[in-house]
Copies of this chain bind each other. A is one copy, B any other.
Amino acid sequence: MKKPTYIEDLQQWVNEFSFSHEVRVRFSETDMFGHLNNTVPFVYFEEARIEFFKSLGFMQDWTDAGSSTIPVVADLQCDFLQQVYFGEELEVCVKAHQVGTSSVDLHYLGRKGNGELCFVGRGRMVQLNKLTGKGEAWSEEQRNLFLSRETLKK
């Protein structure tokens, strides 16, 4: 594995994850090359990210019709470390790597049942104000929730 630029020390990076979500590879998520199609880990990232936010207590606001803010994905990337097959159960881990004014850089890790990493990734989310279309700063409470759960980059 050629180390992605967003990982400094792989072992330490792996150890810092404390939230995980389990997915099982669907048949419809494979392709004619017999493995998981490369577009699907991003679906897993979204599912795990939302569960991560739910665990912090954020998501409830964002999906409320009256909410003035929504989370928007600014960028996403994934490094595919080994092939994944139909029926495999994967642990998809999420952590907040760095918290900005109105954004957060989330890191992701996909792990097989035997403990081997199969994909890693990252992506920045921004909390947008629906009316202005601009970034809305995290509240003190939201910022503390990130800090409480994660080992953030200083």
Contacts and interface: CB of A to CB of B under 8 A. Distances in A.
A38 B42 contact: yes
Interface string A76-117: 111110010011000000000000000000000000000000
Within the oligomer, what is the number of copies of this chain? Answer: 4
Given A75-B77, A77-B77, A80-B75, A28 B4 contact: no
Given A76-B77, A77-B78, A78-B76, A32 B27 contact: yes
Given A30-B32, A32-B35, 17 more contacts: A4-B75, A26-B43, A26-B46, A27-B37, A27-B46, A27-B47, A27-B50, A32-B32, A38-B73, A38-B76, A39-B43, A63-B86, A72-B80, A75-B78, A76-B78, A76-B80, A77-B78
